[in-house]
């Protein structure tokens, strides 16, 4: 790959790379499916990567077969739980696959042994590959960070992306009342089909205020998110794809005693619970596009244009 902030797809290359290096305590996984994330587009733009780190294989998410023949899901966070007080996402030196270490859009990926989670038979490789980033992020937002109980009302901003569809799927399965927003009438209809109770145009006045907002859009939706909360409500934010410098709305936040909580990825233990949650409830990731890895450019182009609803998954082998 090459870094091109203006035209990220210009830096995308498909080719042969040597087998991954395997440090002590690491192992390899033969990838059967890998999922695309906005993180991969940001990497092509040079966010979190420098020229001297290239060539870098992209991709955080994979499911496949380990060296012992077990079907596994790969936890994408490379970090030391002890350095994070028991939470590897709080390790100051944590990284994701494809940041410091070669990523998962390949036939093989090297990861620490502790990063492997057993894949249940009930999940396909394609479904399992969707879980480690978008669905794990949604799981942590809903069940670790929101502080809510089933039956609460949540607003998911920007229905259509991987995290948003994950929030709708998991929230519905867990008994939350889920509302969603989108600029697209088609995506609003798809959100309701997926399990949202109602879907609204972006920025629309809601029938009532909500207990929590799940925010990943940033500038474009922030003001609406703050205004949509009940007194004492909470915004859980995991990203800012439209920009990261909105007006803070501090007067409303302190006067209504609102909370803003950051959330990033999740732990291996949370990934294990997410896998079991899907197994027990029957919830499954929504896959919007399946492509062989050799046609990855088509998937990147669809994500760059915001065309997809659900996850984009590449099959390998």
75 belongs to a structural domain: yes
Q: What is the pLDDT along the chain (317 residues), one digit of tens a residue?
A: 678 888 888 889 999 999 998 999 999 999 999 999 989 999 999 998 888 889 999 999 999 999 999 999 999 999 999 999 999 999 999 999 999 999 999 999 999 999 999 999 999 999 999 999 999 999 999 999 999 999 999 999 999 888 999 999 999 999 999 999 999 999 999 999 999 999 999 999 999 999 999 999 999 999 999 999 999 999 999 998 888 999 999 999 999 999 999 999 999 999 999 999 999 999 999 999 999 999 999 999 999 998 778 899 999 97
CA distance 35 to 52: 25
- Considering the domain architecture, whether residues 123 and 144 belong to the same structural domain is answered as no
CA distance 128 to 116: 12
- Considering the domain architecture, whether residues 82 and 178 belong to the same structural domain is answered as no
Three-state DSSP class for residue 81: helix
Q: Which two tokens stand for residue 239?
A: 């990203």
- Number of structural domains the chain divides into: 2
176 belongs to a structural domain: yes
- Considering the domain architecture, whether residues 96 and 144 belong to the same structural domain is answered as no
280 belongs to a structural domain: no
31 belongs to a structural domain: yes
Looking at residue 2, its pLDDT comes to 74
- Considering the domain architecture, whether residues 157 and 118 belong to the same structural domain is answered as no
Three-state DSSP class for residue 250: helix
Q: What is the domain extent for residue 142?
A: 135-262
Whichever domain contains 235, its CATH number is 3.40.50.720
- Considering the domain architecture, whether residues 254 and 222 belong to the same structural domain is answered as yes
DSSP label at residue 83: G
CA distance 20 to 14: 16
Looking at residue 179, its pLDDT comes to 98
CA distance 79 to 83: 8
- What pTM was computed for the model? 0.95
CA distance 156 to 178: 7
- Considering the domain architecture, whether residues 152 and 83 belong to the same structural domain is answered as no
Helices (H), the chain: 38-44, 125-129, 136-140, 162-174, 185-194, 222-227, 250-255, 268-281, 296-304
Q: How many CA atoms lie within 13 A of 56 on its CB side?
A: 27
Report which of 307, 305, 309, 303 is spatially closest to residue 59, judged by C-alpha positions: 303
- Considering the domain architecture, whether residues 158 and 125 belong to the same structural domain is answered as no
CA distance 196 to 183: 16
279 belongs to a structural domain: no
270 belongs to a structural domain: no
DSSP label at residue 24: T
Looking at residue 160, its pLDDT comes to 82
Q: Which two tokens stand for residue 162?
A: 């991987």
Whichever domain contains 110, its CATH number is 3.90.180.10
């Amino acid at each position: 790959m090459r870094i091109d902030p203006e035209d990220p797809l210009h830096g995308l290359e498909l080719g042969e790379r040597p087998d991954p290096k395997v440090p002590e305590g690491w192992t390899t996984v033969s990838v059967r499916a890998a999922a695309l994330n906005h993180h991969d587009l940001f990497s092509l733009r040079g966010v979190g990567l420098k020229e001297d780190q290239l060539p870098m294989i992209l991709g955080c998410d994979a499911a496949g077969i380990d060296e012992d023949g077990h079907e596994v899901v790969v936890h994408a966070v490379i970090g030391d739980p002890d350095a994070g007080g028991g939470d590897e996402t709080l390790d100051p030196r944590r990284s994701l696959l494809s940041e410091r270490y070669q990523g998962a859009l390949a036939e093989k990926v090297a990861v620490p042994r502790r990063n492997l989670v057993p894949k249940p038979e009930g999940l396909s490789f394609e479904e399992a590959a969707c879980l480690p980033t978008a669905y794990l992020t949604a799981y942590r937002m809903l069940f670790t960070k929101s502080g809510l109980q089933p039956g609460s009302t949540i607003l998911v901003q920007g229905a259509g992306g991987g995290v948003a569809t994950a929030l709708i799927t998991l929230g519905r399965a867990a008994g939350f009342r889920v509302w969603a927003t989108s600029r697209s009438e088609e995506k609003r209809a798809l959100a309701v089909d997926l399990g949202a109770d109602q879907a609204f145009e972006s920025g629309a006045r809601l029938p009532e205020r909500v207990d929590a907002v799940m925010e990943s859009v940033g500038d474009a939706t922030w003001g609406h998110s703050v205004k949509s909360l009940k007194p004492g409500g909470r915004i859980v934010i995991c990203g800012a794809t439209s920009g990261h410098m909105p007006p803070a709305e501090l007067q409303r936040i302190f006067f209504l005693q609102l909370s803003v909580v950051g959330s990033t990825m999740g732990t291996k233990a949370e990934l294990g619970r997410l896998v079991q949650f899907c197994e027990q409830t029957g919830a499954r990731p929504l896959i919007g596009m399946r492509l062989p890895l050799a046609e990855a450019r088509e998937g990147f182009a669809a994500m760059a244009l915001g065309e997809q609803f659900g996850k984009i998954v590449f099959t390998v082998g």
